[in-house]
Amino acid sequence: MATKITLEEREIPRKWYNIVADMPNKPGPPLNPVTLEPAKPEDLSAIFPMALIEQEVSGERWIDIPEKVLEILTLWRPSPLYRAHRLEEALDTPCHIYYKYEGVSPAGSHKLNTSVPQAYYNKEAGVRRLTTETGAGQWGTALALACNFVGLDCTVYMVKVSYEQKPYRKSQMAIYGAEVIPSPSPRTAAGRKVLAETPDSLGSLGIAISEAVEDAASHDDTNYALGSVLNHVMLHQTIIGLEAKEQFKKAGDYPDIVIGCFGGGSNFSGLALPFVLDKINGKDIRIIAAEPAACPTLTRGVFNYDFGDTAGLTPLLPMYTLGHDFVPAGIHAGGLRYHGAAPIASQLLRDGLIEAQAFTQLGVFEAACLFARAEGIVPAPESAHAIKCVLDEVDKCKEAGTSKTIVFNLSGHGLLDLGAYDAYFAGKLEDYQHPQELIEKALARLPKVPA
């Protein structure tokens, strides 16, 4: 049995899969935060190009990937599907464990799958500069590289705690030509407000999004790009799961369990959505989102309309949320510190088509090290949440005396996250469950618009 199941370049999927066409209950529309009416294309066009707005609201099942985008994607795609023989041996399990490895992208994670089309459509629309936020630094790196490929300027607001913990991410973004600003920053009204109230704020993705959106909305030649959550981002990431299904055909196998870590939902959805279609069509398959207990959006949040950012500049989205002004603890998986969740994944969770589990960080780092020692790849701390979930499912199989086929998304490598591993080895990391009273406080400030 092969270790790497690969596809030829010519086998790369040429269309993205839009699950909205097949969902039994469609996600509700984004709402204009002032009128509370469904947002109109004009509401979004201050910061997004029309091609992406069209994808955001599209009900078409299949959407063509432009040739120019495919050309760039083939720098690293199709990505390999690995059969984790050595991990199976280390765990002494009859389970078949597979992982789709997205760390082979030059940016180091799955994020380049959407930054490339987003940069492409903006360039086509005549935009000069893109702004964005980044948590772990992976999204900022991916957008910086995509902007460099298509010829756009790029400004990245980086969550301050990550900016300080991950200096080499800044270097990589600088190599690709981006400007990187620690957030909250004095550059925007949203940043200045947070700094006035909390001068030593660690920042959060919500705050950084407010800054990037404000910057884009106040400059005519500038648009904004979001690395997760929105429907068009989920769409672009489905290339992961579409490839994986072809690879499973080649392997003569099919998963019983599909797992992805969950921040805003893009790598999880990218792998999972093509399999959710099979589940909608009657396949008996479990699909699990693995989130941090320090930021338990899916397992302890509520389903409601909420802002995507902290300052309340974005349209309201129907999603599981911990409240838009929720500031999570500074856990090292910076990319999972987001208060909300993709409306598509939120609706699927509500409908029982996917499930969610939360994990504390010590177990996650232990799982990451076990994986690295067996398979060699140092996983991103975000991706390691999926690995911890896999190990728990293998344990459950052991107890039940069963064997399952499990696939997870190894969304990125952790070679620029070694500071977090050092902190783990030095005993500086603690398990943290976000306190219920803080969640309730944040939820009390939700917009009064049930989803």
Ligand X SMILES: Cc1ncc(COP(=O)(O)O)c(C=O)c1O
Q: Residue numbers of the site for ligand X (CB under 6 A)?
A: 109, 135-136, 138-139, 228, 261-268, 335-336, 380, 382-383, 411-412
Q: Nearer Cβ to ligand X, position 78 or 381?
A: 381
Nearest distance, CB of residue 134 and ligand X, angstroms:
7
Q: Nearer Cβ to ligand X, position 93 or 297?
A: 297
Task: Output the six-digit token pair for 394.
Answer: 């293998």
Angle at 393 between CA 389 and CA 399, to 5 degrees: 145
Nearest distance, CB of residue 268 and ligand X, angstroms:
6
Q: Nearer Cβ to ligand X, position 328 or 335?
A: 335
Task: Output the six-digit token pair for 275.
Answer: 């399999």
On whether the CB atoms of residues 143 and 120 are closer than 8 A, the answer is: no
Nearest distance, CB of residue 135 and ligand X, angstroms:
5
Secondary structure E strands in 116-266: 129-134, 153-159, 179-183, 222-224, 257-261
**Gap between the Cα atoms of 195 and 70, Å rounded:** 42
Give residue 364's Cα distance to chain centre. 17
Residue 266: Cβ within 10 Å count: 30
Q: Nearer Cβ to ligand X, position 297 or 304?
A: 297
Q: Nearer Cβ to ligand X, position 95 or 112?
A: 112
Angle at 134 between CA 131 and CA 135, to 5 degrees: 165
Q: Which residue lies nearest ligand X, judged by its C-beta?
A: 335
Give one word for 157, left, alpha or beta, with left for phi > 0 and alpha for psi -120 to 50. Answer: beta
Four-CA torsion 442, 444, 446, 448, nearest 10 degrees: 180
Burial of 218 (0-12, 13-18, 19+ CB in 10 A): exposed
Nearest distance, CB of residue 269 and ligand X, angstroms:
8
Nearest distance, CB of residue 267 and ligand X, angstroms:
3
Q: Nearer Cβ to ligand X, position 96 or 385?
A: 385
Q: Nearer Cβ to ligand X, position 173 or 397?
A: 173
Nearest distance, CB of residue 234 and ligand X, angstroms:
9
On whether the CB atoms of residues 39 and 32 are closer than 8 A, the answer is: yes
Q: For residue 82, report the phi and psi dihedrals to the nearest 5 degrees.
A: -100, 140
Q: Nearer Cβ to ligand X, position 95 or 273?
A: 273
Nearest distance, CB of residue 261 and ligand X, angstroms:
5
Q: Nearer Cβ to ligand X, position 262 or 305?
A: 262
Question: Which residues are within 8 A (CB) of 329 and not within 5 positions of it... i.e. 6 or more apart?
Answer: 294, 295, 432, 434
With the C-alpha atoms ordered 137, 309, 232, 61, is the resulting torsion angle positive or negative?
positive
Nearest distance, CB of residue 289 and ligand X, angstroms:
8
**Gap between the Cα atoms of 380 and 137, Å rounded:** 11
Nearest distance, CB of residue 391 and ligand X, angstroms:
18
